[in-house]
Amino acid sequence: QVQLVESGGGLVQAGASLRLSCAASGRTFSSLRMGWFRQAPGKQREFVAAISRSGGSSEYADSVKGRFIISRVNDKNTVGLQMNSLKPEDTALYYCAADRNGYTRGSHPTLFDYWGQGTQVTVSS
């Protein structure tokens, strides 16, 4: 019902910045709470950030707080993740996700109903 496509991943050096984008289609975008998750080899998928339907509220994992910024442009059906001061431990496959119950809050992956295919971010030292 909702299709999500991530872009913007790549290989960068520690300390660099990178911007990820997610394009959504198939459902009224403004009705969805949007989020980003990541999964590194040998680890479970972990929460990165989420943004409310209107963009007025956001949540961040402690590991990225102060370095990453989530944003959305509802009239373009996109959500972004600006990643600054990247560290090798940020290396992971990054997923865009959508929560059809846009009024909810929280970081559990089970709260999100739709997922993109992921985009790889690799940070070298």
Task: Give the pLDDT confidence score for residue 19 in this predicted structure.
Answer: 98
Residues 73 and 22: their CA atoms lie apart, in Å, by 11
CA distances from 91 to 1, 12, 64 (A): 30, 10, 12
Task: Give the pLDDT confidence score for residue 40 in this predicted structure.
Answer: 97
Residues 55 and 79: their CA atoms lie apart, in Å, by 10
Task: Give the pLDDT confidence score for residue 38 in this predicted structure.
Answer: 98
SS3 90: helix
Q: What is the mean pLDDT of each run of 10 residues along the chain (125 residues)?
A: 96 98 91 96 96 95 98 95 98 97 85 97 97
| Cα 68 versus chain centre, distance | 10
Q: How many residues does the chain have?
A: 125
